[in-house]
Amino acid sequence: MPRPIEALIHVPALAHNLSRARAAAPDARVWAVVKANAYGHGIERAFDGLRGADGFALLDLAEAERVRALGWRGPILLLEGCFEQRDLELCSRLDLWHAVHCTEQIDWLAAHKTHQPHRVFLKMNSGMNRLGFRPDAFRGAWTRLNALPQVDEISLMTHFSDADGPRGIAHQVAVFDTATRDLPGERSLSNSAATLRHAGVAADWVRAGILSYGSAPDHPEHDAAAWGLQPAMSLRARVLAVQALQPGETVGYGSSFQAESPMRIGIVACGYADGYPRHCATGTPVLVDGARSRTVGRVSMDMLAVDLSELPGAGPGSEVTLWGRASSGAVLPIDEVARSAGTIAYELMCALAARVPVRVSD
């Protein structure tokens, strides 16, 4: 028997979450962002749930090939554009749209031989200071691109640093609007947080990443249910063994947890080598047979411990949901687990380990 742990990818939840992006931005087209192997869900597994999107946005050329191999003929956008000149050959061959964020990428285009002019998304650095042309260099870049026979349509994009937080996006929208005022072309500004929280941003394309996977981009201010999102990934394992603890006895490496009164704990077939964060301290929520409980002690490589004291019916073989949906339908938001680990749900999804079997589910 295989080790009792598996991840489930809930295809209808992906489709549902995408519909939330549409509802939040009814006038825009929606990119389903599937970089990082669809945030750890697996591009091939997630595809059926996300195929209602208007396009797929990603970083990696190999991932773009995988989306084309699935039969997708619609738009695919390389969010960081090309990494070297010969990447443009694949863009021509697979009809990939690509971001242009730096002068070198324009040089490569100018030297590229193609029959098919490319659709590009010219990226502005409107304040995040990661990728893109600064506002004062943006128009020059646009003019240069516009003169190239290798370039067809030029769209305009930028990315927000604070769409999920108190600083917000107004300062970046102002910079972007001022620098692009009389430039033609479609606009793409919003990620998930901006799509949900700042619905007023006028744009032709929104880029829905994390919301598609059922995590609230601004947790804990809002939880996923408040945004109408459903978990697209569940991590489930089973109880391997039960220990009865006497007061004063400890659990796991470093004896970081000590029982104050008699208690029962379950040892679960999930550890940090499965992608469950070792940073989760005692008290991280879990579902045991669909009922809420908590972890106790340190997470080890292949196992962790959960409190069964209040769950007399639980024992060896009981289902433990580390995040997502239990068989009973009860939900443990991945955002709560991420918070307990001092990180965000993106990281947990992307870190699901290769050794965990993954099953497509409803």
Ligand X SMILES: *Cc1c(COP(=O)(O)O)cnc(C)c1O
Query: Shortest gap between Cβ of 251 and ligand X (angstroms)?
Result: 36
Q: Among the candidate windows 69-77, 147-155, 204-212, 288-296, which touches ligand X by CB under 6 A? A: 204-212
Q: Pick the closest to residue 172 from 147, 145, 199, 194 (CA basis).
A: 194
Measured CA to CA, the distance from residue 157 to residue 126 in angstroms comes to 10
Asked whether 199 and 207 are in contact (CB, 8 A), the reply is: no
Rounded (10°) CA dihedral 82, 88, 90, 91? 80
Beta bridge partners of 285: 294
Single-letter code of the amino acid located at 183 = L
Query: Shortest gap between Cβ of 353 and ligand X (angstroms)?
Result: 21
Measured CA to CA, the distance from residue 352 to residue 274 in angstroms comes to 6
Query: Shortest gap between Cβ of 210 and ligand X (angstroms)?
Result: 4
Q: Output the six-digit token pair for 320.
A: 């433990």
Nearest residue to the partner ligand X, using Cβ: 209
Query: Shortest gap between Cβ of 133 and ligand X (angstroms)?
Result: 14
Number of residues binding to ligand X, judged by CB under 6 A? 12
Nearer to ligand X, 151 or 203 (CB): 203
Measured CA to CA, the distance from residue 320 to residue 330 in angstroms comes to 11
Q: If you search the block for the tokens 């908590």, which residue do you land on?
A: 294
Q: Output the six-digit token pair for 301.
A: 């490589």
Binder of ligand X out of 17, 125, 155, 192 (CB under 6 A): 192
Our answer to whether residue 123 is catalytic in this structure is: no
Measured CA to CA, the distance from residue 230 to residue 223 in angstroms comes to 11
DSSP secondary structure, 25-46, as one string: STTSEEEEE-HHHHHTT-HHHH
Which of 39, 113, 123, 253 is catalytic? The answer is 253
Query: Shortest gap between Cβ of 25 and ligand X (angstroms)?
Result: 12
Asked whether 123 and 158 are in contact (CB, 8 A), the reply is: yes
Nearer to ligand X, 13 or 269 (CB): 13
Residue 348 in the binding site for ligand X (CB under 6 A): no
Query: Shortest gap between Cβ of 130 and ligand X (angstroms)?
Result: 9
Binder of ligand X out of 132, 209, 214, 333 (CB under 6 A): 209
Binder of ligand X out of 207, 219, 236, 264 (CB under 6 A): 207
Nearer to ligand X, 161 or 309 (CB): 161
Q: Among the candidate windows 15-23, 89-97, 189-197, 277-285, which touches ligand X by CB under 6 A? A: 189-197
Measured CA to CA, the distance from residue 253 to residue 247 in angstroms comes to 18
Residue 187 in the binding site for ligand X (CB under 6 A): no
Nearer to ligand X, 208 or 270 (CB): 208
Q: Among the candidate windows 188-196, 258-266, 268-276, 350-358, which touches ligand X by CB under 6 A? A: 188-196
Residues contacting residue 153 through CB under 8 Å, at least 6 positions apart: 119, 120, 185, 186
**Which of positions 102-161 make contact with ligand X (CB under 6 A)?**
159
Our answer to whether residue 35 is catalytic in this structure is: yes
User: H helices within the chain, ranges in order?
Assistant: 11-24, 35-39, 43-50, 61-69, 87-94, 103-111, 135-146, 170-180, 192-197, 334-340, 345-350
Binding pattern for the stretch 211-240 against ligand X, x by CB under 6 A and - elsewhere = ------x-----------------------
Residues contacting residue 3 through CB under 8 Å, at least 6 positions apart: 269
Query: Shortest gap between Cβ of 191 and ligand X (angstroms)?
Result: 4
Binding pattern for the stretch 31-50 against ligand X, x by CB under 6 A and - elsewhere = --x-x---------------
Binder of ligand X out of 15, 18, 28, 79 (CB under 6 A): 79
Which of 35, 39, 276, 346 is catalytic? The answer is 35
Binding interface with ligand X (CB under 6 A): 33, 35, 79, 159, 191-193, 207-210, 217
Give the catalytic positions in this structure. 35, 253
